[in-house]
Amino acid sequence: MRKYDADKEVAVNGEISIAVLAVMVFASGCATGPERHASKSQDLKQSVDRVSELEEKPFRLALEDEDDFTAPTEHSESKTRQVDHEEEIALPVAPAESILLPAPDDSLPAPASEHHAVMSLATLEQMALSNNPTLIQAMAQVDAASGAAYQAGLYPNPVVGYASDQIGIAGTAGELQGAYISQEFVTGGKLQLSRAKWSQATCIAETNLSAQYERVLNDVRIHFYQCLAAQQHVEIQKQLVTNAKDHMQTHKEMLNLGQTNMAGFLQSEVDLSQNQLNLQKAENNLDQAWRNLMAMVGTPEITRSTLSGSLEPTEEKLDWDSAFHHLLQNSPELIAAGEKIHHDEITVERERVQPIPNILVDVDFGHNFETDNSVAGVTAGIALPIFDNNSGTIDQAQADLNRSRADVKRLELTLSMKLAEKYRDYQTAWQHIQAYQNEMLPKARRAHEMLYDSYYKRRAAWLDVLLAQRRSLELQQQYVDALLAYCETDIVIRGMLLTGGLTQPPAPLSGGHIDAVPKPR
């Protein structure tokens, strides 16, 4: 019993010594100003460690005004732990200088732990142009149309054969034994028109090829910036997890001191778990964005690496009139539609000359065994366009021409509607970016800085600093989303609304009766 009292007395004396030292240091800190606060806190911690090993783990609390520390009170021990906590627990992260997290810099050496290369947009574009299969398909259509144009202009082959007549007359081998040659002579410029028609189809295929190049590059750029934004989200979410851990630790310490209840502590644990799940989701989104990017590039086997680039706008903002004019003047879809009109005009002319009869000439030669003479013969003929003057096909070709002319106007109106929708999203994203850059993010950063400064002057609570930091990080997440929306719409508008880098390119012409012949015409 006496031993228990002695031990108890030693413990009490140790705690009293801690309180006395704390009061002395606080009084000294108030007299010398905030700039010497950190050094005094370090001295206090070392003194307390020497006096007693019974001291509990220090806790971070919301700091009170400096005037409250002028005299010892019943809360002296709590205040001692406040000062010690600044030495034991990680201090708040200083407010960031930049609005957005910086992108990786190619000029800086990578950390030793990172063995993967940093990839740029230009590198990925070159990889896509070499590996995307739709470009091979589009090129194949150009080759096919070129082959059809060459074939359509070729002259008909002559026919060579054996000829005999009246075999066995007067016991001879026949009146004629020999050979013949038959040749069709094409008239009316049909072959030239056929070749011109299919050459125009080649032009359409080449325009479709350029459009497919644009689609591939646009999609690579869109997926690149989606992956870049996913990288930014992961980094911001990591900071939010750190913020949530600090928030939970603060609630835990406040709970031990009776300055909060179990409900508040449990809620802080829930918030931490939620942020950890959000980080996992952000990392999964990054994995998906990378896989989509590599599929668009045509190299799905490449493992994930860091992307080098920036989401910040680098070109001047487009206005509606310039964007609309650019689309109508340069859209490959409209250019191909105009080329289709010219193709159909040639087709109409080609079908109009189709009834002009070709001349079929046969020449035979051989030996007349009845008269024992060498002989030859010539026959020539034409097909009279009495029953079939190709009028139905001419009407069909004229109908196709009228449809192509109307299709240009239809396509202009369709593209105008699509551009209006994209430009609305483009304008909205631009307005959001301006609001974040000029108003929201600077003010949120300034609020964080002010609370951070007030915390060291004992005029702000630590929880308020954490809350301001969290709000700033959440605004950065929203800013990244706004930048991504702007990048996507800017790419689509400048890329003349061409997307679908893995969609099979359209055929230059649709099949029909006119083209369904053994020899294209």
Domain identity same for 433 and 332: yes
- Residue 518: the pLDDT is 53
In a domain? residue 389:
yes
- Residue 456: the pLDDT is 86
In a domain? residue 47:
yes
Domain identity same for 286 and 180: yes
Q: How large is the greatest C-alpha to C-alpha distance in the chain, in angstroms?
A: 160
Task: Show the tokens assigned to 176.
Answer: 């004629």
Domain identity same for 325 and 437: yes
| 140, 505 contact by CB (below 8 A) | no
Q: What is the DSSP letter of 169?
A: G
- Residue 517: the pLDDT is 54
In a domain? residue 14:
yes
In a domain? residue 100:
no
Domain identity same for 283 and 423: yes
In a domain? residue 359:
yes
- 420/423 Cα distance (integer angstroms): 5
| 325, 334 contact by CB (below 8 A) | no
Decide: residue 158, CB within 10 A, 0-12 exposed, 13-18 middle, 19+ buried.
exposed
Task: Show the tokens assigned to 186.
Answer: 């094409």
Which of 46, 64, 88 delimits the end of a domain?
Answer: 88
| 423, 211 contact by CB (below 8 A) | no
Q: What is the DSSP letter of 460?
A: S
Domain identity same for 144 and 51: no
Domain identity same for 84 and 137: no
- 187/193 Cα distance (integer angstroms): 11
From first CA to last CA, the distance across the chain in angstroms is 119
| 502, 131 contact by CB (below 8 A) | no
In a domain? residue 507:
no
- Residue 164: the pLDDT is 82
Instruction: Note down the domain range covering 51.
Output: 2-88
Query: Which residues partner with 380 through β-bridges?
Result: 361
| 489, 424 contact by CB (below 8 A) | no
- Residue 370: the pLDDT is 73
Task: Show the tokens assigned to 383.
Answer: 């097909």
Residue 424 CB partners (closer than 8 Å, separation 6+): none
Q: What is the pLDDT of residues 173-222, one digit of tens each?
A: 667 788 999 999 999 999 999 999 999 999 999 999 999 999 999 999 99
Give the residue among 411, 394, 410, 320 at the shortest CA–CA distance from 353.
394
The 3-state DSSP class for residue 260 equals coil
For 387-395, the CB contacts below 8 A with 24+ separation are: 388/355, 389/355, 390/351, 390/352, 390/354, 390/355, 393/351, 393/354, 393/513, 393/514, 394/348, 394/351, 394/352, 394/354
Domain identity same for 83 and 139: no
Q: How many domains does the chain have?
A: 2
Please report which helix (H) or strand (E) contains residue 38, including its range.
helix 37-51
Decide: residue 286, CB within 10 A, 0-12 exposed, 13-18 middle, 19+ buried.
buried
Domain identity same for 49 and 130: no
In a domain? residue 299:
yes
Residue 390 CB partners (closer than 8 Å, separation 6+): 351, 352, 354, 355
Q: What is the pLDDT of residues 35-87, one digit of tens each?
A: 333 333 344 334 334 333 333 333 333 333 334 433 333 333 333 333 333 33
What are the average pLDDT values for consecutive 10-residue runs of the chain, which has 521 residues? 41 42 38 36 38 35 36 36 36 44 40 59 95 95 94 93 77 77 94 95 96 97 97 96 94 87 92 96 97 94 91 92 96 96 96 94 86 87 91 93 95 97 97 95 94 88 92 96 97 96 90 54 70
The CATH number of whichever domain residue 300 belongs to comes to: 1.20.1600.10
- Residue 175: the pLDDT is 74
Query: Which residues partner with 360 through β-bridges?
Result: 184, 381
- Residue 111: the pLDDT is 42
Task: Show the tokens assigned to 106.
Answer: 């190619």
Q: Are strands 119-120 and 176-185 parallel, antiparallel or unpaired?
A: unpaired
Domain identity same for 369 and 225: yes
Domain identity same for 125 and 66: no
* E strands present in 331-463: 359-368, 373-382
- Residue 183: the pLDDT is 95
Which of 66, 88, 110 delimits the end of a domain?
Answer: 88
Neighbours of 97 (CB within 10 A): 7
With tokens 């410029």, the residue in question is 189
Its pTM stands at 0.73
- 339/347 Cα distance (integer angstroms): 12
Domain identity same for 140 and 57: no
In a domain? residue 127:
yes
Query: Which residues partner with 448 through β-bridges?
Result: none
Domain identity same for 297 and 429: yes
Query: SS in 3 state form for 143-161?
Result: HHHHHHHHHHCCCCCCEEE
